[in-house]
Structure 1
Amino acid sequence: MTRLGKTEKTIFGVAVLVLLLFSYFLYDDSLLFPKSNQSEMELIGSVATSQNDVRRKNLDTFSWLPATREDKIFDNDSIYTGDRSEAQIRLQDGTLIRIAPNSLITLNMKNGQMMLDLRYGNLVGDITQGSQIKIKSGAEEFNLDGGGKIEFKKSHSGNVDLRLLAGKVNYQDKKVRKSLDKEQPIAVSPQGVKALVKPTVELLTANNTTFVRENPDDKMPFNWRGRGNIARFEMEVSPTADFNNVAVLKTTTEGKTEISEPLEPGPYFWRVKAYDRNGEIGLSETRHMSLLHLNVPVITSPGQNAEFQMELEVRDPSQLAISTEVRWSADSMLKSYHWQISQDEKFEKVVKEGNSFVQNTLTPRLPSGTYWVRVNGATQDKKISGWSAAVPFTIQVTAKKEPIPDRPELIAKDIKFRLPRPDERRPASEMAPKMEWTSVAKTRGYRVQVSKDLNFQQPQQYDVQDTSALWSQMEKGQSYYRVYAVSPKGQLSPPSDIGSILVEDMKPILTSPQLMEPFNNMSIFLQTQQEPFIWLEWRKVAGATGYTVEVSDKEDFSRILYTSTLPGNRYLIKSKVPLGKIYWRVRAEAKDDLPSSWTDKREFTVYHQKNETFVK
């Protein structure tokens, strides 16, 4: 490490002093912007209490300073309270003003009378008997006198709302002196003083309304009528009458809204709040509603993946078709039903459909194949339910006269296949597992099924003519396969025995080397800063043609300092390494094969005499 010279130390020291000086200016600007001579200002009160974030600023100062208990308040001082903060100001005449959270006021004397300029927020004043206070909000001013407690609130409209809490307080409006009524708050605006009247809400949607949803997001309409100078409405829906758990909250400027949010079926309570432009709130009555979901039908027959097989004596193969019965259970609200049969699960190829007034139907004649059936229902007032879950079934119709082919015999029942490496070259016949079976007489080919489960619920299926097939769409792990012989008219033989196919990745043959020296967590002390000579050693691995070693100063080896592949089992670090912890690991290499896994990492710590962590 290079030591700092005298000049560099001097420059560094001056830079630190300048940084500290400017940091102080950010905290206290009184040196840059001198405060007014407070001795020339009129003392108008003091801070009685201060909780959390309360600040004070004089008219001609630049920054806000914390306001603490017993601080003096002078003419033109401003007081700010933050979130969850409040303060109490005691005026010279004994009047006590409590400033609520998130408020800003300015206090000054005008013609010998105290004036409070409420910029925003709330405050409560205890006016001493015989005192007078002038309240200012924007361009509006009005006088208060008497003895009592009064609440001031700067409303959303910019007006100042006055509410008498206790005692008797008078106010002067256009030279007319009036007394505040405890039961009737007032609002002071550029148009004068007027009584505050709470808005009202009349609910128009009937009580105990039941909504039936066909889908979870079907809209439910609600209507009401508001009276007053209303700015907005808030509708609340809750599963409890105390509305402590509000499930839906909708805000609107109209006397209506629609709810499309998903809700569980059951009873609910709802109400509407009206907010007028003076900040007053009106609350409607609470009404009940119920929500029902129109449950989809459930098909009970045929069962999942049912197979219907039948032999028919026919001359024309087109007559090889049969009907089957479909049954379902359904919600009592459903009075009629519509069914569909398709050749695909998404019902893009609907082959048959019809209507029923009972919970069963007989399908038209269907030829051999795999089908899906589904049902929906309609209520008396034409509300349509969703579709039932699609149920697959298979119909296998064969001509009776044709004999059933013999089943094939598997040549290899247990197939193990190792996936080739990307760089490994193999013949095309060895790039996938090969399934083979014995030949069956009088067939037109074979049907091969491959499945991940022994029940062959949704197998991969291939029709081939030879007695072998490559499974090109192979999947890793254990799978099962079986083979059918197919007659000239399409009749399937019994399935062969079930064979297994195990597809696995190529695994490394080599084992990981065993690390020897240096031991884990060893400390290495260097006498000088010259290149170190540190030997890394490990045990040889049978079959290895070489070894790769990695050295890093990162535990996850995200940055490699040195790496090398060498034939022996020792590696010499002879270049500089950073001080501190060093990590290393080794793996064995094999020609034309995969390397072994990396060994667990080892670490050692490098110190030298100038290292501040050096232990003498």
Structure 2
Amino acid sequence: MPDQSLSRSDKVLIFTSLIGSIIVGTILLRDDLLYRYIQVARKDELKVGEIISTKNDVRRRSRQSLSWYRASDKEDIYDNDSLFTGLDSEIKFNINNNQSISLGANSLVVIKPNKDEVVFDLQLGTMTTLTEPEKPIKIMYQGHVTKVIPKMNTTSIEIQKTDEGELTVSSATGEVDIQVQDKSKILQIKKNESASIKKDLKIDKKTFSIEFLLPKSNSEIWLSKEEKIIFKWRNEQPKIPIKLQISRSNKFDQINFEKNIEENENIYSWMPPKNKGHYFYRIVRFDNNDQISLNQKIDIFAKESVELISPIDKIILYGFENLRENELRNVGFQWEDKRGASKFNLEISNKTDFSNIIKSIALKSPHAELNLQRGNYYWRVGMQTPAAENFTSEAREFSVGKVLFEVVKPEIPIVEKPIAIKEPERPQIDSAATPNIIKAEKNIILKFKKDIDVRNPASIRKGILNPPTFSWEELTGANEYAVEIDKSEDFSSPRIIESLKETSFVWEDVKPGQYYWRVRGIGDNGKTSLASAPTKIEIKLPPPIITSPESDDQIVDKIAMLKQKKSFKLEWSEMPMTSAYTVIAEDKESITKKTEVDIEMLPNQVYEVKVAAVDIKGQRLSDYVTKNLKLNAKLMLKAPEASLPADKITVIAFGKVKNDPILFSWRKNPEVSDYELEFSGDIQFKNILLTKKVKTNSYILKSKLPSRLVYWRVRSRYGNNVSEWSIPRSYEVQGAI
């Protein structure tokens, strides 16, 4: 049997492959290590700036690289580097010429050298710059360099690449000059104006009627738990109804908060949700959602202490080791990384009141490692804001080695008798309570005044006769209430109506659709109750009113036309809040934006048609209205032309018994199926002697008729359609036939 053991060379090859696989796997898992090596190798390249800070998903790529790497603070930026930000992400960096740049969420920019300057190729998203006056920001657009030149100190300029590929420039703080090409005319935009550069390099300028005074755009706002943000603006058209909109996206494709503003109001206080971060705000017209202010951005931070993670409270570290008195052990500390914190202060003490601090370390990152000897310890972390405000966490206890914790006897408070009778305290809201919903309507079909303008949103809003009303029982301790309305049951993007003093809310600007709503109480110091269980409500429009008649009469002159479909115009009334209509006929559905449609129908048949209002996505907003339609078609047949016998002929009968037949004929009509003959003793055909129906254009009379003057006539038939009678003819029989 041959030796199947591996040779020395085989073992070396397998070992080398294994080591290579481990190295490659490590590089794939820790791409930052590879990038640090690349950074070292890039020292010969041209450095153009430095990254100041990154948030969440920020990546970068060099000119030679095909892969993207995580970007980190304090890294250098080189020519032709690409920077990318993901959802809810941001990067701030400086360029060598003292330009400060902020790249917003979902953005991509390539930094290109241009002689001794830098050009930004903004391929996606938004960048905000802060630069000195007369120092241009150069943007590569459509193969040309566009210069954006601030005219004042610390001018904040926002540059955005829209989904349509256009470039927009705006400034909320000062005047800016824009030059698309070196020799082109300079366009100046002032504060509260924007410029849109088209793909053909033409520029459109827009002036907004509303200017925000507070908060300042691109400002960082630190808020305590129950603190609100004040929005204040100047309105040049105070009589126009407006709405304040707040969104997490600069595209406002999802509105997180919306508030209708009454006439002449120019201030509103908003309580932001728990999840702080970037928010965008603007004002639009109430009636048509036209934007009448610049999009502005704020970054909200929470004034609160960090949450400690490890060591957990009262844990004993290295408890199974017999440590000597001065023997050291490594202890790792970790706490919550707070957005916006300028630094953290880690404090270690052996006293509960931290009167004797053993170690105090200032850190940028939310973790640290220290060597400590055996003993009892207390630790806490202070967070410092850019404004030098400090917020210190609660303290935690831990020990290194087998040491008992210090037992602190609680102080027994001395209760003094009150000198005076205190007023009864206001009842406090129960944070575990929920408001009870009453009279919850499930389905509402909106009713409107007859004189509304269906194309005017303001007229529609005022014309609703039965807006939904949400009602609930009064909650003990609640000073006001907040109602949330959302299209999803998880309330992922609710519209919030705050500061309601009553126990009901009338939804005046309602729109058709399926919604969920809930309410919570708000007590002293902003303390809130639990929200009520979601209540489902469906809002519908009334069905359209069909204005077309149920039938239409038509006359045709050919039988084939009775088998051909004809067009029937179906019309209905125009509906408010409606983008289109769905029409069902013969089990076929079609959608139209008009209030009429042509339906192809066969004559003399009944058709059931249905019409309902739908939105822009084709979702039904109303019930169907049903109507039966019929196209009545009458066949206009020509009267036959008699041929035989000749008019006023006399027929001689030979013999008293003999019954000689008489031939009656007329011109054939190919459009008919049969004919009808009548014989009468008078020309008015009041006294009918004989009636016959025949399939051909002739008839042989064999019946016995009176021996006197007889009148006859014929007409064509097709189903229920008959022609006029032919001109009467007569004949006389002498003797009995």
Do they superpose with TM above 0.5? no
TM class, shorter-chain normalised?
0.3 to 0.5
TM-score, normalization: structure 1?
A: 0.33
Tell me the TM-score normalized by structure 2.
0.28
Larger RCO: 1 or 2 (CA < 8 Å, sep 6+): 1
